[in-house]
Structure 1
């Protein structure tokens, strides 16, 4: 009879040993760092450093363990979108302007990473035509000008939907040369990059200036996007961003990267021309006022 308890004890120890062995075998996987590839943008100036800093900070506030890595070569938006849609190993996360189609194909994290600032545009122009917009008051006044855009940017469709003439290019860098050569009149740019782009253009011998009078605005958002097969990753990014909003670090990072440029842009004193965005997804979180930038913040 004494052997029965001993047998049960040995059986229990054997099961415990098996469970411990299984746990140890799982530990490397459970605590492994997942590499997240994001598409390297064109070799032009791009507000990529801010988005990358924001994503890095957000992921540091999540239980997941991730390491961000750019693709080896620049990748066009259209190609990156396709890679994420098909859950390719080449790209797992990207940031781009939202559209109805993009939200159907990919999984958006609906927190606007630029606080909607991407929809506030100043205008690059030829320096010789610096005062051409001084008398513009309405959208109808703008229709006598032509606008440059890259062919796969959502802004192209927005401008055309508002009755504006758009000239497109396959290449980002080529747009500055086309503007300088008079192929089109105006190049709407994000306020956070326009002056950097003008400086770089000048270094390349292009005489461009940033208009001081107008501010185009259309409602839109830049989001982080993942594959629809990665709700776990999307949830981690969203959780991290919400934590940053709650502790104020989101706003501090935004000001750190963009505050000085926005004050230079003098957005609050420009004439605003509103454009409608027919491709704006209905789930855009406009009810959350804390997520959105307004030029009045600069007063």
Structure 2
């Protein structure tokens, strides 16, 4: 065998390097969405995708990640976020709600001295005099404002907790799956915040993986893996592993539900697939 033939045989025998798959780093601290990363890892494994998952070198806000994917500039290859009509117009959504709709079930963080402040809230009108905190580029900001609520915004996720503690606004509605971990982190930073026990704010929405429209191959790989996990029950098992105890603690069935409209919800949202959604038996 010639040297060239031997070299070619050696190269062909080497395993192909996994394609780097970069996602936006959430913050300078620990990623609070370890569940989503693990879900992505398992979905890729189920579909046979050979990728090396890695966060972006620096924290990246949603607006910058969306711009990167729209331009397909390679800074990130996917992101996860709440869906909007505008986002689905420029990116490729994988329409399987990663949190089974729980992103739209919000329990407010409040200052400790105000922990019973919301006990008498019965309707959306009761919330209109209050000031809500949100990050400027989150879709929730528009939803709250579309429902006639006052919103104070920040460009920084971390600063919102300090702003609440300082009285810059009155409540910070958080996803039920992260509210208690965020309250605990705030306490470690010396902030006296509590998760309200009286109400839950709800609006229909979904939280998806998104890729560039130029990466239909990647979107298809992820979708096949997620569908396989739904079919064999491993999606639900992972969901319960990460969020089951928190859902019991939230006691959504004892809270007053304040319903909001989501005027920015795409028509293609898969509500006709009940297996994709968590349905708490909460009082209305």
TM-score range, shorter chain: over 0.9
CA distance in 1, matches of 2:22, 2:52: 8
Is 2:25–2:31's contact at 8 Å kept on the other side of the alignment? no
Alignment match, 2:143: 158
Is 1:45–1:196's contact at 8 Å kept on the other side of the alignment? no
Is 2:101–2:205's contact at 8 Å kept on the other side of the alignment? yes
Q: Which runs of 5+ in 1 are unaligned?
A: 1-19
Q: For structure 1, which segment, 33-42 or 240-249, has the greater mean C-alpha deviation from structure 2 after superposition?
A: 33-42
Q: For structure 1, which segment, 93-102 or 197-206, has the greater mean C-alpha deviation from structure 2 after superposition?
A: 197-206
Q: CA deviation at 1:53?
A: 0.3
Structure 2 counterpart SS, 1:125: strand
Residue among 44, 48, 54 paired with 2:39:
54
Q: How does 1:9-158 map to 2 (within 5 A)?
A: 31-43=16-28, 47-158=32-143
CA distance in 2, matches of 1:204, 1:271: 30
Q: CA deviation at 1:219?
A: 0.5
Cα distance 1:128–1:287, how it changes in 2: closer, same or farther (>3 A)?
same
Alignment match, 1:208: 193
Residue among 152, 155, 179 paired with 1:194:
179
Alignment match, 1:3: none
Which segments of structure 1 move beyond 2 Å, counting only runs of 4 or more? 23-32, 43-47
Cα distance 1:212–1:46, how it changes in 2: closer, same or farther (>3 A)?
farther
Q: How many residues align?
A: 277
Deviations 1:174-214 (A, max 9, x none): 11111111110000001111111111111211111110000
Structure 1 counterpart SS, 2:169: coil
Given the two structures, how large is their TM-score scaled by the length of structure 1?
Answer: 0.88
Cα distance 1:222–1:202, how it changes in 2: closer, same or farther (>3 A)?
same
Q: CA deviation at 1:45?
A: 6.5
Alignment match, 2:220: 235
Alignment match, 2:166: 181
Alignment match, 1:254: 239
Q: CA deviation at 1:44?
A: 5.5
Q: CA deviation at 1:293?
A: 0.7
Cα distance 1:27–1:59, how it changes in 2: closer, same or farther (>3 A)?
farther
CA distance in 2, matches of 1:285, 1:117: 14
Deviations 1:208-256 (A, max 9, x none): 1110000000000110000000101000000000000000000000000
CA distance in 2, matches of 1:66, 1:275: 39
Deviations 1:21-66 (A, max 9, x none): 9x96995899441110001002366541000000000000113311
CA distance in 2, matches of 1:160, 1:193: 23
CA distance in 1, matches of 2:31, 2:106: 14
CA distance in 2, matches of 1:253, 1:284: 22
Residue among 210, 216, 231 paired with 1:225:
210
Is 1:116–1:292's contact at 8 Å kept on the other side of the alignment? yes
Given the two structures, how large is their TM-score scaled by the length of structure 2?
Answer: 0.93
Q: For structure 1, which segment, 244-253 or 194-203, has the greater mean C-alpha deviation from structure 2 after superposition?
A: 194-203
Is 2:43–2:222's contact at 8 Å kept on the other side of the alignment? yes
